[in-house]
């Protein structure tokens, strides 16, 4: 905000009446109207006037009633009501608005009728109709119990519950008449209901049921408004067409009167009071703000003519102070702020006709005009406006908290107390003063291109360098005083100098360790009396007692570039320069201050460390504040990036810090206020005001869009998109209307990601290639101070799957893949089976051929030889020993032939693992019975089942060995093979009625030289079964073997209780995978 310290502001014509003398604090609290931060919106920003009404709902949105419809505004974007949820209002031209505590909004239409909306949905429609809301709906009021009052042009209506009632004679209200027009309705702080119409003013006192007529001064009472104390005010027309503003007497307080009232513009329209008690109204071609004085004005006092005319071209008048002035002072001034101020289109107001005014919950005043919308808000930075232009400004603080300011054109002294004039102007010996300094005794020193000057008691400036340096050249850069009262001076061409208290001068450059050619730019003295000197080449010198010089440069860790400022603290100094700011402690350790923005700390030419531990910097990026807690963390944690609060043009800053000369651009006065010199003037900041944290950001997820169309939230706030949706757009906002430009956002979509996306100031999020699922969109934002919201705003989003994305389809796809795999496996197995059959046929054919060859050749040959040998044996006498030997040989030969015949039979049989076990063993038994005298019987108990492949092969070999043994060695007449299938076990028994097995063989498990029984037992044991041999000499033999079902049967035949789906899949795969092919 621009603060004219002395006189009226640029858009102020006059005052009525003249206020008492103000203090600086009062001026800063109530800045001139045209110096508030002003923003306007019009057709260029997409807002077409006129704007008839304004309201702010509890969620923070600003609503605008226009002749083109109802608009919602978040400080950045205007949105039509229809775009929020797709619903429409019964009329477009909106005349009046009223926000309710439940975030609702009453809407009155220009052509009659009304509506109620909440969260984008229309809750109630009342069309214009005869006997009802047939005239323009001009205003609303709502009592605490929810009763709603509506001022319609043709009557006053009351809504209790869902029932409307028109006020009439029974309620003390005038009966409808063609000339009776109701203008407005208001509730005051005592719950009294006030109504004004063409017949006058009426009030219904709280707790009563009837209206009473109120006699008002003048005529045509209109434009009711309520002040911060809850009192109702109205405008009335007096004689000679003068308009006055009156405060109405309260019905509950007998004896109160209207008083004399205050003169106002004849064009006063739609006035309001702000929270500070300022009176705002539309008037003539703009808006006025007036602060009523505490005293009741005289009855005949009227508005000055100057306030009726349009404001002049912006000027900066000042008010000279009366009374004597100090020596050397050419002019004195007093602070002055006119009570009445105006803002017009000449100061960028959006229109020349003000239609409505509103103060929002953040303190900003909104002005609805025929051309658009304007916002006026206070700023954090106050620009102090002097009676003369103040470029190339230098400043210094005196020992009493007073301030001295110099520029190219003037030297001013601002008093710290209220005694005497507030500002004094001194004559200057020369122009272009580059530095001002006040020593411990209060003596004022100034420097310019002509040297060093001292302000004497007579008010004249004394030249202090004339005798010592008659050939002075260049600008003086800085001045400081050490403990001994010695004045240190840094100059442009004369080098580093010092002036002792006795008037002697000493040139230090090039002597005592001081650099000869370096240009000193800044001088400071710390609490220990040490002098610190900064140079433009980036080095700093510390001068201790006895002129002991310590140098700090890049080698020691100093990296600020050219030094622009040095400020001493307790046990440390702060050094500012072209490339940042650093802290140097007494141990010689440097700390580089790092901000989150790389350019935030460049060009620092002013540094203040407050008693509370805050650090304030004035630099190329504006005014920067580092909180005390963050500063301490940066000291203890090197590399920590400190959060920065930066004040810029949005805060009222109109320039940047000087980085050439004059330097020392920041200081603090004893009252805690900070002062900063800029390239185009001086500004002041109250740190205590900044410490009052702004309200946390209020966030709102406005809508979710698919292909540009918003989705309608369901109950519970869930948004359900169309199945197959891949792309989403989410609009969100922060409902801080004062400084929406400062808001920054971050967002994420839970269900898709866990990390946050930094969005900056962007208020939209975009997602592509999303899949079906449940998501939650979350967004966080900052307020104007950069503080993040405590909790995110969220929005639940559901994207249903399409049939192709559904679980059922995935199951079907999985089954199809399994079936395809099974089909491929089956096809492959069929190929393997076909090849195996071919190999089997070839193998079987080869075995048959070998058997035939052996039978037809070898065995027949042996048989022929045996017959010959038999004939020979018959020819040998029976008593001959040779006959007995021949008979034994022939018996052995017969056994060999029988063995050969058995082996031929074995070759003709199929392999033991081909076909079922029953087929293999039955075929073997029948074939063996054809070569032996024993009968063979085969039987199966139970339903045959598929055996495990390994078990099948082992049992086939065991059964074959048992049958061979029975037919060859048992000398039996009958042999039986029985196979039994049960749910618990598989059993097989081979029984004969032969000679039995010797006892020794049973005990040993085998006969000498024969291992058949041992092999049978081992094979059964290997597949998890049991083997038992039962036999007695001459009583036959039984071979019993049993295998548990879990090991014997194939898995698909094991008796298990499986779920239906598992059994179905098992059967499916069982059918798809055939049994093992012959191999």
pLDDT at 126 over 80: yes
Q: Does residue 175 surpass a pLDDT of 80?
A: yes
- At 980, the pLDDT band (50, 70, 90 cuts) reads very high
Q: What is the CATH number of the domain that holds 972?
A: 3.30.565.10
Residues listed for the chain: 1079
Read off the pLDDT of residues 612-653 as tens digits, 9 standing for 90 and up: 999 999 999 899 999 999 999 999 998 899 988 889 888 888
pLDDT level of residue 903 (50, 70, 90 thresholds): low
Q: Identify whether the C-beta of residue 996 lies closer than 8 Å to the C-beta of residue 1035.
A: yes
The whole-chain average pLDDT of the chain stands at 85
**Last-in-domain residue among 668, 691, 714:** 691
Q: What is the pLDDT of residue 630?
A: 92
pLDDT number for residue 1069: 45
pLDDT number for residue 1018: 86
In a domain, 323, yes or no: no
Please report, rounded to a whole number, the percentage of residues in the chain having pLDDT higher than 70: 88
pLDDT of 1011: 64
Residue whose token pair is 């029985």: 978
In which band, very low, low, confident or very high, does the pLDDT at 303 lie, cut at 50, 70 and 90?
low
* Any domain includes 977: yes
Q: Is the pLDDT of residue 315 over 60?
A: no
Q: At what angle do helices 1012-1022 and 949-969 cross, to 10 degrees?
A: 160
pLDDT-based confidence at 609, cuts 50/70/90? very high
Q: Picking from 317-321, 360-364, 1056-1060, which range would have the lowest pLDDT averaged per residue?
A: 1056-1060
For residue 434, the enclosing domain spans 383-691
pLDDT, residue 1005, reads: 66
Q: Are residues 140 and 50 in the same domain?
A: yes
Say if residue 883 is in the same domain as residue 964.
Answer: no
839 lies in some domain: yes
- Indicate if 238 and 149 belong to the same structural domain: yes
69 and 193 together in one domain: yes
Final residue of a domain: which of 656, 691, 726?
A: 691
Lowest mean pLDDT among 93-107, 395-409, 770-784, 993-1007: 993-1007
List Cβ neighbours of 294 (8 Å cut-off, separation of 6 or more): none
Give the per-residue pLDDT at 902.
Answer: 63
In this predicted structure, the answer to whether residue 1051 has a pLDDT above a threshold of 50 is yes
Rounded average pLDDT over 328-344: 81
3 state DSSP class of 161 = coil
Q: Is the pLDDT of residue 192 over 70?
A: yes
Question: Which pLDDT score is estimated for 522?
Answer: 94
Instruction: Note whether 612 and 489 are same-domain residues.
Output: yes
pLDDT at 904: 61
Please compute the mean of the pLDDT values over residues 528-557 and round it to a whole number.
Answer: 94
Supply the pLDDT for residue 806: 85
Sign of the alpha-carbon torsion through 949, 955, 958, 963: negative
CA end-to-end span of the chain: 100
In angstroms, rounded to a whole number, what is the distance separating the alpha carbons of residues 69 and 914?
Answer: 91
SS3 1044: strand
Look at residue 663 in the predicted model and tell me its pLDDT.
79
CB 384 within 8 A of CB 682: yes
In this predicted model, which residue has the larger pLDDT, 987 or 7?
987
The answer to whether residues 734 and 77 touch, using CB atoms and an 8 Å cutoff, is: no
Q: Is residue 510 part of a domain?
A: yes
Q: Would you place residue 293 in the very low, low, confident or very high pLDDT band (cuts 50, 70, 90)?
A: low
Same domain, 578 and 677: yes
Predicted pLDDT at 697? 85
pLDDT at 128 over 50: yes
The DSSP output letter for 596 is S
Shared-domain flag, residues 509 and 548: yes
* Residue whose structure tokens are 């074995």: 906
- Report the pLDDT value the prediction gives residue 103, as an integer from 0 to 100: 95
Q: What is the mean pLDDT of residues 208-223?
A: 92
Q: Do 789 and 936 reside in the same domain of the chain?
A: no
Q: Minimum mean pLDDT among 84-93, 254-263, 1004-1013: which range?
A: 1004-1013
- 3 state DSSP class of 1064: helix
Question: Closest Cα partner for 958 from 908, 1011, 1020?
Answer: 1020
Sign of dihedral through CA atoms 101, 105, 109, 115?
Answer: negative
pLDDT at 218: 87
List, edge to edge, every strand of the sheet that includes 69-73: 51-56, 62-66, 69-73, 78-80
Lowest mean pLDDT among 94-103, 366-375, 407-416, 665-674: 407-416
pLDDT at residue 148 tops 50: yes
pLDDT of residue 1031: 85
Residues 717 and 576 in one domain: no
Which of 206-215, 428-437, 640-649, 778-787 bottoms out in mean pLDDT, i.e. has the lowest?
A: 428-437
**pLDDT tens per residue, range 992-1042:** 988 888 877 777 666 665 667 888 888 888 888 999 988 888 888 899 999
Structural domains counted in the chain:
5
Half-sphere exposure of 583 (CA within 13 A, CB side): 18
- Across residues 681-696, what is the average pLDDT? 80
**How much is the pLDDT for 987?**
94
The pair phi, psi for residue 1061, each rounded to 5°, is: -65, -40
Token pair listed for 821: 């795999």
| Res 130 pLDDT > 80 | yes
Contact 1005, 972 (CB under 8 A): no
Question: Closest Cα to residue 909, out of 894, 921, 891?
Answer: 921
* Cβ-based neighbours of 854, under 8 Å, separated by 6 or more: 900, 903, 904, 907
**pLDDT score recorded for residue 12:** 29
Phi, psi of 905 (to 5 degrees): -60, -40
Distances (CA, A) of 66 to 69, 84, 294, 747: 5, 17, 38, 34
Q: CA-to-CA distance for 203 and 194, rounded, in angstroms?
A: 4
In a domain, residue 373? The reply is yes
* Domain of residue 720, CATH code: 2.60.40.10
Q: Is 241 helix (H, G, I), strand (E, B) or coil?
A: helix
Per the structure block, which two tokens stand in for 731? 């609009």
Which pLDDT score is estimated for 26? 77
Whether residues 242 and 176 share a domain: the answer is yes
Q: Tally Cβ neighbours within 10 Å of residue 705.
A: 17
Chain segment 949-979, per-residue pLDDT in tens: 888 888 888 888 888 888 888 888 899 999 9
Which residues does 1045 contact at the CB level (< 8 Å), separation at least 6?
982, 983, 984, 985, 986, 1054, 1055
- For residue 335, being part of any structural domain is answered with no
Residue range 844-871: mean pLDDT, rounded: 70
| 601 touches 626 (CB < 8 A) | no
How would DSSP label each residue in 278-337?
-EEEEETTEEEEE---SSPPPTT----GGGTSPP-S------BPPS---TTEEEEE--B-
Higher-pLDDT residue of 836 and 709 is 709
Structure tokens belonging to residue 110 = 């220009």
Does 941 have pLDDT greater than 60?
A: yes
Percent of the chain with pLDDT over 90: 46
Q: Beta strands 572-577 and 563-568: pairing type?
A: antiparallel
Of 317, 270, 354, 365, the residue nearest 12 (C-alpha): 317
Q: Is residue 265 part of a domain?
A: yes
Q: Is residue 914 pLDDT above 60, yes or no? A: no
pLDDT, residue 747, reads 96
The CA distance from 413 to 405, in Å, is 6
Binning pLDDT at 50, 70 and 90, where does residue 404 land?
very high
Taking only the tens place, the pLDDT of each residue in 225-253 is 999 999 999 999 888 788 889 999 999 99
Using CA atoms of 872, 878, 882, 885 in order, give the dihedral in degrees to the nearest 10: 90
Task: Give residue 909's pLDDT.
Answer: 53
Domain termination residue (choose one: 643, 660, 691): 691
Q: What CATH number is associated with residue 527?
A: 2.130.10.10
- On whether residue 307 sits in a domain, the answer given is no
User: pLDDT grade, residue 314 (50/70/90)?
Assistant: very low
Backbone angles phi, psi at 1030, to 5 degrees: -120, 125
Predicted local distance difference test score (pLDDT) of residue 855: 62
The predicted-structure confidence for 363-380, as pLDDT tens digits, reads as follows 999 999 999 999 999 999
Separation between Cα atoms, residue 115 and residue 102, nearest integer Å: 15
Which tokens in the block code for residue 762? 């962007």
**Are 197 and 135 found together in one domain?**
yes
**Same structural domain, 349 and 388:** no
Spatial separation of the C-alpha atoms in residues 734 and 700, rounded to whole Å:
6
């Amino acid at each position: 905000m621009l603060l004219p310290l002395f006189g009226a502001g640029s858009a102020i014509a006059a005052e009525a009446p003249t206020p008492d003398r103000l203090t600086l604090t009062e001026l800063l609290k109530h800045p001139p109207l045209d110096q508030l931060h002003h923003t306007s919106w019009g057709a260029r920003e997409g807002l077409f006037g006129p704007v008839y009404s304004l309201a702010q709902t509890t969620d923070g949105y600003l609503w605008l009633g226009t002749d083109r419809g109802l608009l919602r505004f978040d400080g950045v974007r205007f949105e039509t009501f229809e775009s929020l949820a797709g619903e429409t209002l019964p009329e477009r031209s909106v005349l009046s608005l009223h926000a309710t505590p439940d975030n609702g909004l009453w809407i009155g239409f220009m052509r009659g009728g009304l509506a109620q909306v909440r969260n984008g949905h229309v809750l109630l429609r009342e069309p214009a109709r005869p006997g009802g809301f047939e005239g323009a709906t001009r205003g609303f009021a709502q009592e605490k119990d929810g009763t709603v009052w509506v001022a319609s042009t043709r009557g006053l209506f009351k809504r209790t519950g869902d029932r409307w009632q028109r006020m009439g004679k029974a309620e003390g209200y005038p009966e409808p008449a063609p000339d009776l027009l109701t203008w407005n309705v208001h509730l005051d702080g005592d719950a009294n209901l006030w109504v004004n119409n063409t017949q006058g003013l009426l009030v219904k006192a709280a707790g009563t049921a009837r209206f009473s007529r109120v006699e008002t001064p003048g005529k045509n009472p209109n434009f009711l408004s309520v002040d911060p104390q809850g009192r109702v005010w109205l405008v009335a027309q007096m004689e000679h067409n003068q308009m006055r503003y009156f405060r109405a007497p309260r019905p509950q307080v007998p004896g109160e009167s209207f008083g004399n009232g205050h003169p106002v513009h004849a064009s006063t329209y739609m006035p309001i009071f702000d929270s500070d008690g300022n009176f705002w109204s539309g008037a003539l071609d703009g808006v006025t703000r007036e602060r009523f004085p505490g005293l009741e004005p005289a009855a005949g006092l009227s508005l000055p003519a100057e306030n009726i005319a349009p404001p002049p071209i912006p000027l900066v008048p000042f008010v000279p102070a009366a009374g004597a002035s100090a020596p050397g002072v050419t002019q004195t001034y007093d602070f002055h702020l006119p009570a009445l101020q105006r803002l017009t289109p000449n100061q960028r107001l959006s229109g020349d006709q003000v239609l409505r005014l509103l103060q929002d919950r953040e303190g900003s005043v909104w002005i609805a005009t025929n051309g658009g919308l304007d916002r006026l808000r206070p700023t954090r930075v106050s620009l102090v406006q002097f009676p003369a232009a103040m470029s190339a400004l230098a400043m210094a603080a005196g020992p009493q908290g007073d301030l001295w300011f110099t520029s190219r054109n003037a030297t001013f002294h601002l008093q710290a107390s209220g005694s005497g004039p507030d500002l004094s102007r001194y004559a200057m010996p020369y122009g272009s003063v580059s530095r001002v300094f006040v020593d411990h005794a209060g003596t004022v020193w100034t420097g310019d291109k002509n040297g060093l000057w001292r302000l004497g008691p007579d008010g004249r400036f004394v030249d202090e360098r004339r005798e010592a340096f008659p050939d002075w050249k260049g600008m003086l850069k800085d001045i400081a005083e050490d403990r001994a009262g010695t004045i240190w001076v840094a100059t442009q061409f004369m080098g580093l100098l010092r002036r002792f208290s006795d008037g002697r001068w000493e040139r230090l450059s090039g002597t005592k360790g001081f650099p000869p050619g370096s240009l000193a730019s800044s001088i400071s003295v710390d609490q220990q009396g040490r002098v610190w000197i900064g140079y433009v080449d980036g080095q700093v010198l510390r001068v201790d007692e006895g002129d002991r010089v310590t140098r700090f440069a890049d080698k020691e860790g100093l990296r600020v570039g050219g030094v622009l400022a040095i400020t001493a603290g307790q046990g440390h100094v702060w050094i500012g320069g072209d490339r940042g700011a650093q802290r140097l402690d007494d141990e010689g350790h440097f700390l580089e201050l790092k901000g989150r923005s790389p350019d935030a700390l460049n060009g620092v030419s002013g540094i203040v460390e407050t008693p509370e531990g805050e650090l304030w910097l004035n630099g190329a990026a504006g005014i920067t504040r580092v909180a005390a807690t963050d500063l301490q963390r940066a000291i203890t944690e090197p590399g920590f990036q400190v959060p920065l609060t930066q004040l810029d043009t949005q805060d009222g800053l109109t320039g940047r810090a000087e980085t050439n000369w004059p330097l020392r651009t920041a200081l603090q006065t004893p009252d805690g206020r900070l002062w900063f010199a800029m390239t185009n003037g001086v500004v002041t900041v109250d740190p205590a005001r900044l410490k009052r944290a702004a309200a946390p950001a209020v966030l709102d997820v406005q809508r979710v869009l698919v292909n540009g169309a918003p989705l309608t939230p369901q109950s519970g706030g869930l948004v359900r998109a169309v199945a197959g949706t891949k792309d989403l757009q989410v609009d969100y906002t922060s409902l801080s209307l004062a400084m929406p430009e400062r808001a920054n956002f971050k967002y994420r979509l839970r269900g898709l990601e866990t990390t946050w996306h930094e969005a900056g100031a962007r208020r939209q999020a975009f997602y592509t290639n999303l899949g079906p699922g449940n998501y939650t969109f979350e967004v966080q934002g900052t307020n104007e101070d950069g503080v993040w919201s405590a909790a995110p705003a969220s929005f639940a989003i559901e994207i249903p799957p399409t049939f192709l994305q559904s679980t059922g389809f995935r199951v079907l796809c999985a089954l199809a893949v399994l079936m395809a795999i099974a089909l491929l496996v089956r096809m492959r197995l069929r190929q393997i089976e076909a090849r195996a059959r071919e190999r089997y046929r070839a193998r079987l054919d080869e075995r048959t051929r070998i058997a035939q060859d052996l039978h037809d050749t070898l065995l027949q040959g042996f048989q022929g030889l045996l017959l010959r040998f038999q004939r020979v044996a018959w020819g040998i006498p029976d008593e001959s020993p040779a006959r007995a030997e021949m008979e034994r040989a022939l018996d052995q030969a017969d056994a060999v032939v029988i063995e050969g015949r058995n082996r031929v039979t074995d070759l003709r049989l199929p392999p033991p693992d081909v076909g079922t076990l029953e087929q293999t063993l039955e075929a073997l038994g029948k074939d063996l019975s054809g070569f032996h005298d024993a009968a063979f019987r085969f039987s199966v108990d139970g339903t045959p089942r598929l055996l495990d492949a390994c078990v099948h092969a082992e049992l086939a070999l065991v059964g074959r060995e048992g049958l061979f043994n029975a037919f060859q060695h048992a000398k039996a007449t009958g042999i039986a093979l029985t196979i039994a299938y049960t749910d618990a076990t598989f059993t097989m028994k081979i029984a004969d009625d032969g000679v039995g097995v010797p006892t020794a063989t049973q005990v040993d498990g085998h006969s000498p030289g024969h291992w058949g029984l041992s092999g049978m037992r081992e094979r059964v044991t290997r597949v998890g079964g049991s083997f038992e041999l039962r036999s007695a000499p001459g009583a036959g033999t039984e071979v019993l073997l049993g295998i548990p079902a879990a090991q014997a049967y194939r898995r698909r035949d094991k008796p298990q209780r499986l779920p239906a789906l598992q059994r179905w899949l098992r059967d499916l795969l069982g059918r798809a995978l055939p049994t093992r092919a012959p191999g």
